[in-house]
Chain A
């Protein structure tokens, strides 16, 4: 059973704060890592797919980094806005070519 962990489990920040959270995954047999944002009552929305060690991806105020050798990825949100409130999920893909999701980080941005 693959262990994909996300921390923190939940996070409250003030509007305008920058924040980051972590996804830890097995450092062997890495194939890809996905990040998704899931707002309440909506579908999970893809943010990034990362495949190479050292990858950095950016979409607006959200960015992500990847370290496959040590088995972690960081997601950063700069200048958080209330509309960033959502659950952020990472999913690891290894040699079995299946997505294994973490339990998510629930972000609440307070106005």
Chain B
């Protein structure tokens, strides 16, 4: 049990729609990061937030955006969904922002775009 929860667990959307995925970090963890895992691949870094500010971003287009709130919750928003956005989306929280601490992952949201 990592103490990180994600909702919903599964989601089906159609191409062009918008989606919001939610994550509740461990209490006290100021850093949250989001990852996309396509079938057969390792998780790919989308972005990271530290104390409500984005402080790192991977190779994802601007239609992927996020928010982090003071209550240790966060959101991943994806606009104009494409078929290739179908994937498992993971969030992870950690205590610091240096990335030499372990990450605590949620179980993920499985997004299907039809």
Contacts and interface: CB of A to CB of B under 8 A. Distances in A.
A76 interface: no
B84 interface: no
Given A43-B4, A98-B48, A98-B58, A34 B41 contact: no
Interface of B: 2, 4, 33, 35, 40-45, 48, 56, 58-59, 90, 92, 98-108
Given A99-B45, A101-B42, A43 B101 contact: no
Given A31-B100, A49-B101, A100 B107 contact: no
B56 A43 contact: no
B100 A104 contact: no
The 6 A-B pairs of least Cβ separation, nearest first, read A101-B42, A46-B102, A43-B105, A44-B105, A103-B42, A32-B100
Interface residues of A, number: 26
Contact of A45 (B2, B35, B90, B98): B2
Contacts of B105: 36, 43-45
Contacts of B106: 43
